[in-house]
Structure 1
Amino acid sequence: MFYYQRPKLGVAAVAPMILFEAFIPSARQMFWKRQRFPIADAHYAMGFALLAELTGDRGYYDRAVHFLEMLEEARCPGYQLYGWGYPFDWVTRTGIMSNGTPLITTTPYAYEAFSYVYRIDGNRRWLDVMASTAEHAARDFPDRVLGSNIAAVGYNPFDHNGCVVNASAYRAFLLLTAAGQLGRPDYREIAERNLNFVLDSQQPDGSWFYAMDGVRNFVDHFHTCFVLKALAKIEQSTRHAGCGEAIERGVEYYVQNLFDERGLPRPFSRAPRLTVYKQELYDYAECINLGALLRGRFKELDERVNATLADLFARWQKPDGSFRSRRLLLGWDNVPMHRWAQAQLFRGLCFMQFTLQEVKGIEPDPAARTKQNPGGRWAEERSPAMAAQRL
């Protein structure tokens, strides 16, 4: 908080860490320990579930289940319902979010992960977690009412001043999806208010500020992707009338302003401060995730995604299979980090492969419909409603 409360002294205090981050990225191990991240486990679970559906390989399914079990263990303690956050104290402009505080920007990914595996095996165990997670998102995160049918959701259960756009987009997606999958129409009204906030927050040029607080009005790459992904998923699963135009305007801004002259992702179109890097893996990962969702719909977006994929494999992947984390002002940050963004990229690449198979009209391996697993059958016991949806 010192950094935000007394900016000049705060900059001096964090300068050594920024220096290390810019020139000696591996030095971050001096400041913190290695640990798991629920958001990373969720992305790995989704990626392996997609591979299981694509190939019928039982090993991929088992890996997906492993990551779900890790998520079950990592749920935030002290809450009746399932939710996930960060395994460290997160210092923000508005206060400190303690280790184990559920976050609306993490919890929806866990919901998706459980739904992906449930789509394969129909195991009631995963459905129960999904139901608990959705109820937690509906019940425990406070809304900030901004109009007759507009509300922004708080980042966590203690945040009553919600104004971060992607947070409301995440909750709207989770609850609108759960309304259909779980037969809970009461979730729809809550989600609609958050969705209206997201749609109302779109700027005339098609962009979204990070937050509508008059302070954090920067526009960056991966947060823009978060908002567009949520709108695309809502549109696909509910055919919501308000999403189409917002997506079209948002994609137009995105392709024109958040890529460089080579058609590769750049971090900001409107930066909040000086940055010590040129490009980062998170932007590449979310570009691919968004591109897979909207594949074939926007020609310019497809071209940007294709360029991103080509550059990713040409310059970012290392001989051991991992990916560089950032292109710095001088050289590279070669330290792979699950959270930032090996996991998101893994899921994105698996999702892109899955999407390309569907675009070509190639069905996933039929063997995936007959193999046995501890929870039942791979597909014979799938819920018809779940099987019909591609999240």
Structure 2
Amino acid sequence: MAVDRECILKCCQTNDLSCYDPYDIWMTDLGIQVKSLFNKNKYLGILPAAALTLFDHFLNNNTRLGYKRREYPTARAMAALTLLNLYKIEHKESYIQVAKLHLDWLLENTCKGYAGLCWGLGFKWAAGEGLDYNENTPFSTHTPYALEAIHTYVQITKDTSYIRHIKSIFDFYENDIKVLYENDTEMATSYGPSKDRLVTNSVSYTMYAYAIFLGYFPDKEDAIKEKIGKLYNFIQKRQRSDGSWLYSPDDEDSFIDCFHSCFVLKNIDKTHQIVPLREAERTTNMGYDYLKLHFYASKDGLFKRFSLSNKPSIIKYDLYDNAEFLHLAVLLRDLDFAKKLAASIDLKFCKGDAIYSVIDMFNFRKNKNTLRWAKMPYLYALSTFHLFQE
């Protein structure tokens, strides 16, 4: 494997993780306006959206004119998690020290004005019709990466001074994340700190966050376990008969893609390792089999983007999909397949010291060394693979 531990360390052992991003064009003022127009009216927005996509992909992908390098909380959290994985293998104190630098960056760069520590994208995001998030908006899908990194750091180092940060994140989930749906047996929570939208993977992230909280609040054990159970029941009952989940289960125009499906399955598995969930293995096996059957292109040895799409795309393969499936395969102990997939990713997405985020329909690699999406998820998956092979 060309991307070895030395390559992983070179990326993660630095205190500057600023980078360009595949979403750069949509962070510009014009990009935000066009995305908002598309979200309101696809027919009016399709041509300007296509024009910006083609400009970004074919004309500005290398030069990045008008874009700026940014730091991303999830990249920092995954860099810390990657180093902590490697520490478990090699026990080098320097890995802990740099991981701590990443955690301290996260603590300095939390979203402001909320009940507890929390993180989001760090840029404006036109997510849907009438749903524009600002750069200070935290999300239930992003915060768990920082939570897991701090939790893992505490477990390894026994540094109890960081426990207060975990308890602060708990306050965010308890006070800022909203309940969108609840009955006697099920619960679904919001994506961000408002009653915004129902998204399957965000419910799974909230479930996993509460599984981590369980070890820090013995006095709240029964209430937390009840919440985890209700969140899981919601997810499980929205799984379709073929093993898939819609991104948004109550949206007629929703989609099924690879990496969001992997998020759901990973969160179920990781939660199940802490709190036994009813029929968790059956649920994850159904979802895993669906992904292999409907996303895996054996000819190229890679996973494609969608099994059900709601908009056109020029992307053939995305590193994010493949990195997340690699991570999922490792967690589910499908190590022979993980090794095969890792070799395909290395061959198709990597060239020299560059790791590209996408392969387009013309088989061109694009988006060089973009950490958030998806070099860092890939390195994190590889470090987990190395850990499970020991």
Q: TM-score range by the shorter chain?
A: 0.7 to 0.9
CA shift digits 1:23-51 (9 cap, x unpaired)? 24526833532110101111000001111
SS at match of 1:72: helix
Quote the RMSD (CA, aligned, Å). 1.7
Partner of 1:179: 214
Residue 100 of structure 2 is aligned to residue 65 of structure 1: yes
The residue identity in structure 1 corresponding to 2:190 is: G
Aligned equivalent of 2:283: 246
The two structures have a TM-score, normalised by structure 1, of: 0.85
- In structure 2, the CA distance between the partners of 1:50 and 1:30, relative to structure 1 (3 Å rule), is same
Q: In the aligned structure 2, how far is the partner of 1:80 from the partner of 1:234?
A: 24
Change (3 A) 1:155 1:314: same
Matched, 1:126 2:162: yes
Residue of structure 2 in register with 1:316 after alignment: 349
Residue 375 of structure 2 is matched in structure 1 by 342
Displacement of 1:181 in angstroms is 4.5
Instruction: Extract structure 1 runs of 4+ deviating beyond 3 A.
Output: none
Is the contact made by 2:115 and 2:176 (CA closer than 8 Å) also made in structure 1? no
Q: How does 1:192-341 map to 2 (within 5 A)?
A: 192-262=229-299, 263-296=301-334, 302-320=335-353, 322-330=354-362, 331-341=364-374
1:74 to 105, 109, 114: 109
Q: Distance in 2 between matches of 1:14 and 1:30?
A: 18
Aligned with residue 87 of structure 2, among 48, 52, 55: 52
Question: What is the alpha-carbon distance in structure 2 between the residues aligned to residue 191 and residue 81 of structure 1?
Answer: 20
Aligned with 1:70: secondary structure?
helix
- In the alignment, the residues of structure 2 paired with residue 236 and residue 249 of structure 1 have an alpha-carbon distance, to the nearest angstrom, of 18
Mapped pair 1:102 → 2:167: no
Following the alignment from structure 1 to structure 2, what is the Cα–Cα distance between the partners of residues 248 and 284?
18
| Residue of 185, 192, 198 corresponding to 1:163 | 198
Say which of 146, 149, 153 aligns to 1:117. Answer: 153
Deviation at 1:177, TM superposition (A): 2.5
* Counterpart-to-counterpart distance in 1, 2:291 and 2:58: 30
CA-CA distance at 1:66 after TM superposition: 0.9
CA distance in 2, matches of 1:214, 1:197: 16
Aligned length: 350
Q: Structure 1: which 5+ residue stretches go unaligned? A: 297-301, 358-391
Within 5 Å, give how 1:115-154 maps onto structure 2.
Answer: 115-154=151-190
TM-score normalised by the chain length of structure 2: 0.85
Counterpart CA distance in 1 for 2:225 and 2:61 is: 45
Alpha-carbon deviation of 1:215? Answer: 2.8
The residue type equivalent to 1:180 in the other structure is G
Distance 2:310 2:66 in 1: 24
Distance 1:127 1:346 in 2: 27
- Once residues 190 and 32 of structure 1 are traced to their aligned partners in structure 2, the CA distance between those partners, rounded to angstroms, is 42
> What displacement does 1:303 show?
4.7
Does the CA contact (< 8 Å) of 2:167 and 2:216 recur in 1?
Answer: no
Higher relative contact order, chain-length normalized (CA < 8 Å, sep 6+): 1
What are structure 2's unaligned runs of at least 5 residues? 1-35
Identity of aligned residues (%): 26
Q: Distance in 2 between matches of 1:28 and 1:282?
A: 23
Distance 2:217 2:225 in 1: 12
Q: CA deviation at 1:199?
A: 0.7
| Paired residue type of 1:82 | L
Q: 1:29 is paired with a residue of what secondary structure?
A: coil
**Further displaced range: 105-114 or 181-190:** 181-190
Q: Is the 8 A contact 1:210 1:216 kept in 2?
A: no
Distance 1:65 1:293, change over 3 A: same
- Which AA in structure 2 matches 1:187? I
Question: For 1:201 and 1:31, how far apart are their aligned partners in 2?
Answer: 42
Give the 3-state SS of the residue equivalent to 1:102 in structure 2: coil
Of residues 202-211 and 304-313 in structure 1, the stretch that sits farther from structure 2 once superposed is 304-313
Residues 174-206 of structure 1 deviation map (CA, whole Å, 9 limit, x = unaligned): 102311344231222222222111111100110
| 1:161, distance to aligned residue in structure 2 (A) | 4.7
* Amino acid paired to 1:99: E
The verdict on how the C-alpha distance between 1:24 and 1:282 changes in structure 2, with shifts beyond 3 A counting, is farther
Residue 29 (structure 1) aligned to one of 64, 69, 84: 64
- Cα pair 1:22 1:276 within 8 Å, conserved: no
Deviation at 1:286, TM superposition (A): 0.5
Give the deviation of 1:134 after TM superposition.
2.2
- Note the alpha carbon deviations across 1:137-172, whole angstroms, 9 max, x for none: 1332011124322121111111x2542100000001
Q: Deviations over 1:53-72 (max 9, x none)?
A: 21111221111111101101
Aligned to 2:6: none
Q: Tell me, yes or no, if structure 1 residue 355 matches structure 2 residue 388.
A: yes
SS of the equivalent of 2:126 reads strand
For 2:117 and 2:251, the matched residues in 1 are separated by 33
SS at match of 1:105: coil
Deviation at 1:240, TM superposition (A): 1.6
